[in-house]
Amino acid sequence: MARAVTTQHKVVVTAAAWAVALIIFFPILYTIITSFKSEQEAIQGFDLIPSFTFESYADVQSQYNYFKPFMNSVIISVGSTILALLIAVPAAWSMAFSPTRRTKDILMWMLSTKMMPAVAVLMPIYLLFRDFGLLDSRIGLTVMLMLINLPIVVWMLYTYFREIPGEILEAARMDGASLWNEIVYVLTPMAIPGIASTMLLNIILAWNEAFWTIRLTTTEAAPLTAFITSFSSPQGLFWAKLSAASTLAIAPILVMGWFSQKQLVRGLTFGAVK
Amino acid sequence: MATRQTQTLARSMLAPAVIVLFIWMIYPLLRTIYFSFMRYNLQRPETYGFTGWNNYYYLFLDGGFWPSIVNTLVLVVGVLLITVVGGILLGMLLDQPMFGQGIVRILVISPFFVMPPVAALVWKNMILSPSYGVAADIAKFIGISPVDWFAQFPLFSVIMIVAWQWLPFATLILLTALQSLDGEQKEAAEMDGAGFLSRFWYLTLPHLARSITVVILIQTIFLLGVYAEILVTTGGGPGYASTNLPYLIYKVASVGGDVGRGSAGGVIAVILANIVAIFLMRAVGKNLDK
């Protein structure tokens, strides 16, 4: 370091950054605080110190059966991610290691499917789901979320796989490894980190998807997005309970998100920014 | 060298993804285009039949159509302005040495992981509510009367919520880009006596140009489809004050049951998204050639 950073400068930067960060984080922080208040307390004006009651958490479970939408969210987001990986891993693999003249076009075309506005195809999908009895079903929603995230999954995997050096493959082939052995013993161990990151990001995206999950479900298959939306009607307006339900809904994904910052940049920019 | 056997295998590995995405792209789109020329109301299915351009005609005459187009654009541009300018400033702040940088980063990116209905309801009830919200508490504290945000500034309130969700994304990407800026170049510029502003203008901004483009284009795709935030806060109102195109289509098709007119709106949404898409594909495509 040629440029010395003065302590004074660092202190000023620290203060400014923390102030901005806390303002940005405040709505989340206040939600968490409010979730530990009683309903009475929650509307009694600004107060950062709750009475630390778990009343709202208990109520959310006993009155609204919170566990059900939570499990729906888990099943749908994990299920759609696994389904997407099953289809995307071979495809990304093939394009990364046996590229043809058309590979680039195929990738761009896959990306273009992501540009389709969801609302534009709402009615055909809704009617299709209705006719096949898929409305308000976890299977229907799982397939739906797999479809909308598949392009991102293929793209992310492709950018990861491309970083695996081709020489390794050649060396394995020279040693007489069959394609199957190549995949199992050479490529898979190198690809695991990329697949894991892709999986993490996709679960986050599926968990937070808030168009199809709301429009295609009513009660049985409703995940947390739809469940929380039901709190928008006036009779559902209980702040402490809303806060408890919200805290539970965002906590797991918040933690996963913190671990996947880098992958997030890469995944959501389709590898354009690393 | 790839043998014929590996080529066949490679193709069959690629096939499922291509087939699934092809069906997913083509089927609903063709149906939407088809419905947009049909008289098809779920509440009066017996009137089903070909109707030509009527759905488009009545959609354009709908009192909500032009406001919704304008609102869609205002929402996209408004959120982009806040997030890109905010993201550059915040990225530059976070790029400097400080205490607890890791935690600051975590706090700043967190809103991005909050699902839209939670973000919208928390803002609506606990922050912006005119009677009990934190904003009202602050207003009372400094002695001004609280603002009923969603009644008086509905679209602006929605913009604020959506910008809060996307600012972390812009910040994270621009910060990543800033970190790759060559430190020596910066120092050289500094030694040559370039001030902060000229360094920003001639060095930082050109370096960020590509990332800013990516941020704008990707956010635009998502911002054109903002839905849940409007559904749980203003419901598109008052009147059409905060109705964007997706919300209008939802109201016409899902609530009103008019599949035909809703589909005509869908076709308009596709055209709008495609205009953006063309630019995005170019930007991302360039990256592939490297």
User: Of residues B281 and A131, which shows the higher confidence score?
Assistant: A131
pLDDT of B290: 46
**Between A and B, how many residue pairs show a Cβ–Cβ distance under 8 A?**
301
Dihedral sign, CA of B106, B107, B108, B111?
A: positive
Residue in chain B nearest A94 by alpha carbon? B10
A53 lies in the same domain as A80: no
Question: How far is residue A59 from each of residues A35, A62, A256, measured CA to CA in Å?
Answer: 11, 5, 26
List, run by run, the mean pLDDT of 10-residue segments along chain B (290 residues). 70 88 90 88 79 84 87 93 94 88 90 92 85 82 82 90 94 88 74 79 83 85 88 84 89 84 89 81 62
Average pLDDT for residues A165-192, to the nearest whole number? 77
Q: Which of A64-78, A154-168, B22-36 has the lowest mean pLDDT?
A: A154-168
A79 is a domain residue: yes
Q: Do B225 and A119 touch (CB under 8 A)?
A: yes
Per-residue model confidence (pLDDT) at position A232: 76
- Contact state of A123 with B259 under an 8 Å Cβ cutoff: yes
Q: Is the ipTM of this complex over 0.90?
A: no
Token output for B120:
């919208």
Examine the domain organization and report whether A162 and A233 are in the same domain: yes
CATH topology of domain B67-261: MetI-like fold (1.10.3720)
Supply the pLDDT for residue B276. Answer: 76
In this prediction, residue A1 carries a pLDDT of: 42
Both structure tokens of B157: 């309130």
Considering the entire predicted model, what is its pTM?
Answer: 0.87
Residue A54: band (very low, low, confident or very high) from pLDDT cuts 50, 70, 90: confident
Question: Which tens digits make up the pLDDT trace of A202-248?
Answer: 898 899 998 899 988 888 888 989 988 888 776 555 788 888 889 99
Which residue would you say has higher pLDDT here, B62 or A144?
A144
Radius of gyration of chain B (CA): 24
Query: Per this entry, what is the length of chain A?
Result: 274
In a domain, A157, yes or no: yes
Q: Is the peptide bond before B97 cis (omega within 30 degrees of 0)?
A: no
Structure-block tokens of residue A225: 């997005």
Percent of residues, chain A, with pLDDT higher than 90: 20
pLDDT value of position A237 = 56
- My answer on whether A34 and A105 are in the same domain is no
CA B269 to CA B252: how far, in whole Å? Answer: 14
On whether residue A1 sits in a domain, the answer given is no
Q: Angle at which helices B4-35 and A67-97 pack, to 10 degrees?
A: 130
pLDDT at A182: 75
Tokens of A21: 């960060």
Alpha helices in A98-165 (DSSP H): 103-113, 122-131, 138-161
Return the pLDDT at B1.
46
Any idea which of A138-142, A146-150, A253-257, A260-264 has the lowest mean pLDDT?
A260-264
**A181, A258: one domain:** yes
A133 pLDDT more than 50 = yes
Helices B65-94 and B54-61 cross at an angle (nearest 10°) of 70
Q: Are residues A53 and A76 in the same domain?
A: no
Interface test with A, best of B24, B76, B181 (most A CBs within 10 A): B24
Using CA atoms, how far apart are residues A250 and B119, in angstroms rounded to an integer?
10
Residue A46 belongs to domain spanning: 7-58
What residues contact B20, with CB distance under 8 A and at least 6 apart?
A: A87, A147, A150
| Cα–chain center distance at B3 | 45
Shared domain check, A27 and A145: no
Decide if A273 is inside a domain.
no
Tell me, what's the pLDDT at A236?
A: 55
Average pLDDT of chain A?
Answer: 84
* Closest in B16, B246, B272 to A87, CB measured: B16
Environment class of residue A109 by beta-carbon count within 10 Å: exposed (0-12), middle (13-18) or buried (19+)?
A: middle
pLDDT score at A231? 80
pLDDT value of residue A271 = 66
Q: Which of residues 78-137 of A touch B (CB under 8 A)?
A: 87-88, 90-91, 93-95, 97-98, 100, 104, 106-108, 110-128
Q: How many structural domains are present in chain A?
A: 2
Residues A47 and A71 in one domain: no
Does residue B100 contact residue B272 with C-beta atoms inside 8 Å?
no
Closest CA to B117 of A268, A236, A224: A224
